[in-house]
Amino acid sequence: MQSFQLGDTRITRIEELIGPLFDPVQFFPTFHQGLVDAHKDWLFPNHMDAKTGRIIASMHSWLIQTPHHNILIDGCIGNHKDRNPYRAWHQMTTEWPERLKATGVDPTQIDYVLCTHLHVDHVGWNTQLIDGTWRPTFPNARYVFSKAELDHVEAMLNGHDPNDDFALVNQKTYHDSIKPILPQTDLVIESMDLISDRLSIALTPGHTPGSITLGLTSFDERARFCGDICHHPLQIYEPSMNSAYCELPEQAIQSRINLLEECAEDNLLLMPAHFGPSHAGRVRRKASAYEFKFC
Ligand SMILES: [Zn+2]
């Protein structure tokens, strides 16, 4: 189990799965072979698979343990969920719950579950199947995400293109992983402190209309949990490279540049949702762009 210590706060990665999940050409519409050539010194093997040419992606949650709170960021895909036609994510049975319990934290001890956004791979463990019903996995937690994101997802429920598999899967996700936890959800309307001097929430629209990022401070150390503002470390070197799933492309690029600039300026530990090993690191300015130093 991989952990990072930030002042008096422990951050642990709870893995769901990792592997060469995506074809980079499909995932990043502006991807080209020149990027592989330019970055081959660090891409292999942790961030691109040499055999298949696919990009390595990790699905994980971040558990934050402060002296007073247990906070979970992003709930991956989840078990036993109907995710057809996404066959690889359909009816999964991973040991994510056992990995969480191995930290010594029981689901009943989670105080906050923060969803950076409401795509299928960020909310799955919000719920679990008990006696045929989707129930909150974390019965004592407040679930937190942005009102703009919920409004957007609910507006998309009706009338999406029947040939849009991603929209179909996200519709299923709403019903089994979001709707059941709404009675214990707090909606974020503007950037705010969730825990004063410790955990802040910033609205960072672009990947989705209601994406948020989380800032963690402990003593004089700081980290930023960026969800899918950056999917893959190549985007730190190429901030204008959006994924095919960035819903507001211009804003997605601007939010990414803002994030990288802040991380470089303030030496923040960047903790994305999908980077391969070691999963987190620091952004440095390099000439007129950026580079990434994994921890
Ligand atoms: Zn994601």
Ligand 1: distance of its center to the CA of 245 in Å? 9
Q: What is the pLDDT of residues 44-97, one digit of tens each?
A: 999 999 999 999 999 999 999 999 999 999 999 999 999 999 999 999 999 999
Burial class of 293 by CB neighbour count within 10 A (0 to 12, 13 to 18, 19+): exposed
Beta-carbon neighbours within 5 Å of ion ligand 1: 121, 228
CATH class of 3-23+49-228+270-276: alpha beta
Nearest to 12 by CA among 102, 95, 93: 102
Q: Is 280 in contact with 294 (CB distance < 8 Å)?
A: yes
Greatest distance between any 2 Cα atoms in the chain: 57
Ligand 1: distance of its center to the CA of 63 in Å? 17
Q: Is 62 in contact with 72 (CB distance < 8 Å)?
A: yes
Ligand 1: distance of its center to the CA of 230 in Å? 9
CA distance linking residue 287 with residue 213, whole number of Å: 26
Q: Is 210 in contact with 148 (CB distance < 8 Å)?
A: yes
Residue-range domain boundaries for the chain? 3-23+49-228+270-276
Tokens coding 76: 């991956």
Nearest to 171 by CA among 155, 148, 147: 155
Least confident residue range of 39-53, 156-170, 221-235, 276-290: 156-170
Q: Considering the entire predicted model, what is its pTM? A: 0.97
Ligand 1: distance of its center to the CA of 189 in Å? 22
Ligand 1: distance of its center to the CA of 223 in Å? 19
Phi, psi angle pair for 69, to nearest 5°: -140, 150
Phi, psi angle pair for 165, to nearest 5°: -60, -40
Q: What is the pLDDT of residues 201-234, one digit of tens each?
A: 999 999 999 999 999 999 999 999 999 999 999 9
pLDDT at 288 (0 to 100): 82
